[in-house]
Amino acid sequence: MRIFSRSRGSIILALVTLTMFIGGFAVYGIGFFHVTHARAAAYSTYTGTRGHLTFAGTTSIATAAAKKTATTAGKPTVRPMPLRPLPRSGGPTTKTATPSSGGLPTTRLSLTHNFDGINSTQNLNASGVGLEPPDEGLGYGNGLVINIVNLALAVYKPNGTLVAGPVSATNFFLEQVAFTNGTVTSDPRVYFDASTHTWFATIFEFDDGSVSGTASSHVDIAVNPSGNPLGTWYVYRIDTTDAIDNGCPCLPDYPQFGIDQYNVYISTNEFSIAGPQYNGAQIYAVSKSQLESLATAPNMVHFGNLSIAGVITYHVQPAISYTSAPAEFFMDSLDPNSTFDNRLGVWAMTNRQSVTSGTGLPTLSSTVITSEAYGFPPNAVTPPGFNGFTGEATTGIINNDFDAMQEVEYINGHLDGALDTAITIPGDTAERSGVAWFQVSPKLAGNIVSPSTSILEQGYVSSQGNYLLYPHINENQSGTMAMVFTLGGPGTFLSAAYATKSASAKQFTAVHLAAAGAAPDNGFTDTPAFGGVGRWGDYSNGEVDPSGNFWLATQYIPGNGDQVANWGNRIFEILA
């Protein structure tokens, strides 16, 4: 579920004069506006509070399959995820074009496995609800792939053979049937921790109180320490109702997953269930060893109502640490007016072992660094279609949520992150959306993140005549990088695409297709009855396996689907 403002400002990018076309698509290394800001404090620190998770019970994919899901007779129940505006404050006012230079690498990595994951019809059949957008969760471990999309979960062999599912994710997480009794379940994630052979999966639910009489919310963390995803999972809950805060009872929108050697980290965006109040990002650090040992009430530390550079935070992404890290790091973008900016927030949590020990508290700190500029992306324009549920033609206009940081990774001593950005390509006919990517070298000054933290590498990826949506970026132990996203344009159906970068290259390769879209977007949100802008995303996903190969997934249109929607998602492995 995504909550954001649609207001945005245009931003123009200067491209290098040399462009290369491979397979009909192009990637550009480009310079962006330079944006000036008054210098904020060198760093900020925050104080957390202790708490505990509650144990909800045990589950398995088999028991989720055995439990019947309620369905509605006649027309299916449909549910677009709601959009809520964010508060805005002053933003940047000056800009100077700064072009970069250099050509594009021509050698790409090859795909090995490449198959379809969960689609809109499977989600509808498993959950009883037609949903948009298709929120994406992907994990790979012990020779199996888990895909959780919206309210459906399935397990595959690496060659795409279905092992189990799709089953209802609400059943799997021991939740009430969503959207029938005042409850909403959304935003799944799944990850295999190779260091401990443990599976983790997360989702959130909130109850608006319309049926139960009491509004509340929580984040589920399902844990499987056996390494076999077909076995028993243990479900824990973080109470995120935050009843005494502004506008609460509240909900934990867009929970993001991070992990290191000490803890599991969940970051959320806290909104009032009843109204527009927004309280900023919330971070929950949960003892990893206590989750894996199946403790009755694992320890947790909560950092609430966070701000940075004088503005309330949104979408503070915790890192998935593939190597031992001196701190748990986080990154977020800073664009308070949804226009354009050239700053990133870098965060560090130290004294992390105190979460488990119960003595003292972790130290959370943040600093602001200068980066290449980025701006709020435009909606994508794609071929129109037709929706059988509303009986209306679809517009082909696809929303592109924000320029917020997507999933962050820590490996080889640095952080990798990427986000959607507006981009104008010389010779193109319209502003497009592309990807801004960042490689950051985080530094500590004692137990505080150091203001000397800086950019190692950065750049942009784009495709002339097309839009790139919802990037996910990974790096392996050798420094090779892979990025996945959806690609679409006025003459291109929404497709699954990717680009790669060798450790020695300064830029990503040209954009390549993993699976070409086969039809226009026929989703119900893309019709006038639901606003005429298709809900897409809200994020892609991926994981690096121990051999260094990349498992990636993103949304695309595989066919006509059902009367409600026709989104699908493509899962593929890139051989490093």
pLDDT of residue 243: 83
Q: What is the mean pLDDT of residues 415-433?
A: 91
Can you spell out the DSSP letters for 12-64? --EE-S--EEETTEEE--EE-EE-------S-EEE--EEEE-EEEEEE-HHHH
Residue 76 pLDDT class (50, 70, 90 cuts): confident
Token pair, residue 143, equals 């020779």
pLDDT tens for residues 264-290? 999 999 999 998 899 999 999 999 999
pLDDT of residue 96: 27
CA 353, 357, 363, 364 dihedral sign is positive
How far apart are the C-alpha atoms of 245 and 177, rounded to whole Å?
28
Q: Answer whether 50's CB lies under 8 Å from 299's CB.
A: yes
Q: What is the mean pLDDT of residues 158-173?
A: 97
Q: SS3 string of 182-237?
A: CEEEEEEEEEEECCCCEEEEEEEEEECCCCCCCCEEEEEEEEECCCCCCCCEEEEE
Token match 């491979």: residue?
22
pLDDT tens for residues 197-209? 999 999 999 999 9
pLDDT tens for residues 212-262? 999 999 999 999 999 999 999 999 999 999 988 999 999 999 999 999 999
Q: Answer whether 314's CB lies under 8 Å from 280's CB.
A: yes
Nearest to 371 by CA among 341, 402, 405, 403: 341
pLDDT of residue 574: 96
Strands 392-393 and 250-259: unpaired
Q: SS3 string of 238-267?
A: EECCCCCCCCCCEEEEEEEEEECCCEEEEE
pLDDT of residue 275: 85
CA distances from 360 to 76, 147, 352, 355, 463 (A): 52, 38, 10, 8, 50
The answer to whether residue 70 scores a pLDDT higher than 90 is no
How far apart are the C-alpha atoms of 400 and 538, rounded to whole Å?
8
CA distances from 405 to 319, 331, 336, 443 (A): 11, 7, 13, 20
pLDDT of residue 181: 86
pLDDT of residue 336: 83
Token match 């230079």: residue?
101
pLDDT tens for residues 80-101? 876 554 655 444 333 322 224 3
Share of the chain above pLDDT 90, in %: 78
pLDDT of residue 107: 63
Q: SS3 string of 390-422?
A: CCEECCCEECCCCCCCCCEEEECCEEEEEEEEE
Residue 553 pLDDT class (50, 70, 90 cuts): very high
Name the more confident of 525 and 36.
Answer: 525
Token pair, residue 403, equals 């320029």
Radius of gyration for the alpha carbons in the chain, expressed in angstroms and rounded:
22
Token pair, residue 371, equals 């980066």
Residue 109 pLDDT class (50, 70, 90 cuts): confident
Nearest to 199 by CA among 241, 244, 149, 259: 259
Which CATH code fits 14-355+362-575?
Answer: 2.130.10
How far apart are the C-alpha atoms of 12 and 459, rounded to whole Å?
15
The answer to whether residue 338 scores a pLDDT higher than 90 is no
pLDDT of residue 576: 86
Residue 143: how many CA atoms within 13 Å on its side-chain side?
A: 2
CA 443 from centroid of its chain's CA atoms: 25
Q: What is the mean pLDDT of residues 464-470?
A: 96
Peptide linkage before 249 cis (omega within 30 of 0): yes
